[in-house]
Amino acid sequence: MRRRGVRTGMLESADVAGRWPGEEPLAERRRRITQELGGPDRLARLRTRGKPTVRDRIAALLDPGSFDEIGMHAHSARHEDAADTPGDGKIGGYGRVDGRRVAVVGDDLTVKSGTSSQNGGRKVERIYDQALRSRIPFVFLGECGGGRIPDILASSDFSRLSALPVYGHRARRIPSITFITGDSFGGSSFHAALSDVVIQLRGSCMSVTSPRVVEAAAGEIVTPEALGGVDVNGSLSGQTDVVVDTEEEGVATIRRLLSLLPSSAHEMAPRAPVADRDRSTPITRFVSSDRRRGYDIRRVLRLIADDDPLELGAGIGRGIVTALGRIGGHAVGIVASQPLHHAGAFGVDGLNKITRLVLLCDSFNLPLVFLQDTPGLMVGPDEEHRRLLFTAMHLQQALVNSSVPKLTVVLRKAYGLAHHLLAGCGMGADLLCAWPGSEFGFMDPEVGANVLHGRELADLEGDERRARRRLRAEELRRETDVWGPAGAMSIDDVIEPDETRQVLCAHLDRLMDGRTPADHDHALAGWPTSW
C-alpha cells in the first residue's frame, strides 16, 4: 500500500508495524498512555499519597479484561498542552460488571488535576450518549479540579464547553451512579447532582466550586470538609446518598446497586435466588406493643428482607429509612418509619428522601414497600419555612403518578398526612394491611388530647395534669383501633407481625410475576433528580 506521507508530502511506504517514518509505534503509544498517564512524575506523586489512579479504579470495578476504552488518544485542544494531556483528563469506555455491560468514565488526576475541558467533555458526552443508545448503566468516578483555566476562560472557548446536554435528555432511561473519590469541583459534582445515586468517600469534597475560588470570589476562607465533605453532604444538604470509608467499599456499593437495578428502563430488575438463613427470630422481639417505646427499624428490615438492605441518605431525615433491597428475590425500594428518631415523625428532609426513592423505583420498574409507624409530620416554623407544604405535595404527586406496585404495612401508628404520604389509605396501594393493635387517626392521641382538652388541662399542674392528659389520650385512642379501617374495607387485611415477610413475598409474586416494562408508563422519569 502506498500513501502520501504526512510530513514530506512525498509518496512513502509504511513499515511492517503499520507506522509512518518518524511516528511513535502504536503499541508504544498505548503503553505510554495507559501506564504513565499524565507522566511519571505526576504518577509518582499520586502513588506517594497512597491514591489509586483512575485506571486502577476502573479495573477494580469492571470484570477482568472487559474494559474497552474510548478516546484514549484525545488531548487538550491547546496545541502547547497536547503532548502533556493524554486523554484530556477523562478516561472511559465500556466494560462488564458481573457479566452485565456498563459504561464508565473517571477523572484523571495526573492530567491537570482532572479538570474539565473541551475534548475531555466531548469524550464524556460520547460515552454517555452511547450508553443511552445501548441501554446500559453509566458510572462516573469523580475527582475533578473544576473547569480548566485558561482553556475555558476566553469567550470562544467557554462557548464550546459542554453544559451536560446529554444528561438533560436522560429522563432516567438508564441508571446513573456517581462515586466521588476525592475533591470534586464543577464537572464531576454536576454529574453527581444529575445521578440517581451518589456515593462519596470520606475525606473527599463535593461542591460547585473550590475553597480557593470561594476565597477569591467571596473573601471567605473555608476548608474542603466544611464546604462539601461527607458530614455536609451526607447529614446537612442530603446531596450524598451513601458515605463510604474506603475505595473498596465504594466499588462494592456500585456493584450492589447495579445488581439491584435493571440495565435500563426497558428491562425489569434481575430477580435473585433467596439464600437460606435463620429467620426464626420473632419481630416482636424488637418491636414492643407499647407505642411509646422506640426500636431500630433496621432490625425489622433484616428479618423481612432477604439480606441487609442498602440504605440511602442515612444521615439526613432520620425519622425515615429509605433503602434498596430484596424481598423474596424481588428487587424493591423500601420506605420505613424509624421510631428511634422523633418517634418516627419526619419533615422536609424525610419527604425529599422518600420522593427521591419513588422517582428512582418508578423509573426502573421496582416495586415499593412501605412500613409505617409514625405519629405524623414534624411541624413548626423551621419545617414550614423550608417549604413543608410544597414538599409534602410534591411527594403526594409522585405517589399518585407512580405506576409500580406499592405494598404498605402499618406496624403500630398511622396518623395524619404522614400516613397518606407513606402510601396509606386512598393513595392507590396495591396492598395495605396492618398489625393487630395498630392505630389510625387524624392525629396522634397525645397531640389530640392537648388540642381538644387544652382549656381543661391548662387549669391543672404537674402530675395531675399529666394524668389527666393520659386519660384523655386513652379515650381518643380507643377510637383509633385497626378494626375501624378493616371494617370499612379501607385496608386489605390484619396480619400477625411474624407473617409480614410471608405476606409481602406472596403479594410481590402476585404483582410482579409476568410484569414487563410495558406495564409502567414511567411518568416520573423526567422529574428532576433534585429540587
Helix (H, G, I), strand (E, B) or coil at 48: helix
On whether the CB atoms of residues 476 and 448 are closer than 8 A, the answer is: yes
| pLDDT single digits (tens) 108-144 | 988 887 787 878 888 999 999 999 999 999 999 999 8
Note the residue count of the chain: 531
Compute the average pLDDT of residues 414-432. 95
| Number of independent structural domains in the chain | 3
Who wins on pLDDT, 458 or 50? Answer: 50
What is the band of 154 on the pLDDT scale with cuts at 50, 70, 90? low
Compute the average pLDDT of residues 329-348. 97
Q: Residue 13 pLDDT > 50, yes or no?
A: no
Residues 353, 450 within the same domain: no
Residues 127, 245 within the same domain: yes
Residues 362, 467 within the same domain: no
Who wins on pLDDT, 472 or 11? Answer: 472
Provide the mean pLDDT of the chain: 89
pLDDT (0 to 100) of residue 152: 66
- What is d(CA 39, CA 382) in angstroms, rounded to the nearest whole number? 52
In a domain, 16, yes or no: no
On whether the CB atoms of residues 182 and 141 are closer than 8 A, the answer is: no
Q: Residue 494 pLDDT > 90, yes or no?
A: yes
Residues 231, 296 within the same domain: no
What is the band of 167 on the pLDDT scale with cuts at 50, 70, 90? low
Residues 461, 413 within the same domain: no
Residues 213, 183 within the same domain: yes
Domain harbouring 367, CATH code: 3.90.226.10
Residues 288, 339 within the same domain: yes
In a domain, 474, yes or no: yes
pLDDT (0 to 100) of residue 451: 64
Share of the chain above pLDDT 70, in %: 90
In a domain, 525, yes or no: no
Compute the average pLDDT of residues 84-105. 94
| pLDDT single digits (tens) 514-531 | 999 999 989 999 998 776
- What is d(CA 333, CA 385) in angstroms, rounded to the nearest whole number? 29
pLDDT (0 to 100) of residue 2: 42
In a domain, 44, yes or no: no
Strand (E) or helix (H) holding 417: helix 416-421
Question: Vertex 425, ends 511 and 440: CA angle to 5°?
Answer: 125
In a domain, 5, yes or no: no
Residues 401, 382 within the same domain: yes
- Mean pLDDT check: name the lowest of 20-34, 276-290, 384-398: 20-34
Could you tell me which of 438, 428, 433, 443 has the C-alpha nearest to residue 506? 433
Compute the average pLDDT of residues 77-91. 83
- What is d(CA 208, CA 224) in angstroms, rounded to the nearest whole number? 11
Residues 385, 434 within the same domain: yes
Q: Residue 347 pLDDT > 70, yes or no?
A: yes
pLDDT (0 to 100) of residue 11: 42
Residues 143, 238 within the same domain: yes
Please, which residues bridge with residue 102 across strands? 95
Compute the average pLDDT of residues 32-49. 87
pLDDT (0 to 100) of residue 291: 82
pLDDT (0 to 100) of residue 7: 43
Residues 466, 379 within the same domain: no
Compute the average pLDDT of residues 183-206. 93
Q: Residue 352 pLDDT > 70, yes or no?
A: yes
Q: Which residues make Cβ contacts (< 8 Å) with residue 205, sequence separation at least 6?
A: 182, 183, 184, 185, 224, 225, 227, 228, 229
pLDDT (0 to 100) of residue 227: 95
In a domain, 265, yes or no: no
Share of the chain above pLDDT 90, in %: 65
pLDDT (0 to 100) of residue 164: 60
In a domain, 123, yes or no: yes
Question: Vertex 424, ends 392 and 479: CA angle to 5°?
Answer: 110
Q: Residue 226 pLDDT > 70, yes or no?
A: yes
| pLDDT single digits (tens) 388-412 | 999 999 999 999 999 999 999 999 9
What is the band of 161 on the pLDDT scale with cuts at 50, 70, 90? low
In a domain, 176, yes or no: yes
Q: Residue 207 pLDDT > 80, yes or no?
A: yes
Structural domain of residue 461, as residue ranges?
Answer: 441-481
| pLDDT single digits (tens) 293-314 | 999 999 999 999 999 999 999 9
Residues 300, 389 within the same domain: yes
